[in-house]
Amino acid sequence: MAFIAPGSDERLTSFISIWGHILLWSVMSSSLVYLVMGSLWVTLLKVGHKKWHFKFGAGVLFVLSALWKMISKDAILSLAVAGIYSAIDVPLAGEWALLWGVGLSLITIAINVFIACCPIYSVL
């Protein structure tokens, strides 16, 4: 599978190539978000909490759980999008793979923020 850059005239036609490109963009954008949030978490935990001071094992567990969640979520969502595109036999351009990948990450962030901030969720 060769990488097709956004702006190229080539189109992705097979299921594996569509899935791989959407997964690539989704993992890259999600990893950027998790890198920022992980460093923020470590910094706040190190500075703000004396009782729950940062331990190396907690940081490793946080990073591993975030990686597992990110990769599994991105694989499932990009698999669904690739399945739809290959079922209707529509070729996918490189920039649309970029938009789908980043969009899946943004939708996940929005859902997580809604769940964290929604007061009705805390009652359930």
Residue bearing the bigger pLDDT, 22 or 51: 22
Residue 110: Cβ-neighbour burial (10 angstroms; 0-12, 13-18, 19+):
exposed
On whether the CB atoms of residues 92 and 18 are closer than 8 A, the answer is yes
On whether the CB atoms of residues 19 and 79 are closer than 8 A, the answer is yes
Instruction: Summarize pLDDT for 65-96 with one digit per residue, the tens.
Output: 777 888 888 899 999 999 999 899 888 888 88
Instruction: Summarize pLDDT for 35-44 with one digit per residue, the tens.
Output: 887 777 777 7
> Residue 12 gets which letter from DSSP?
E
Q: What percent of the chain has pLDDT over 70?
A: 73
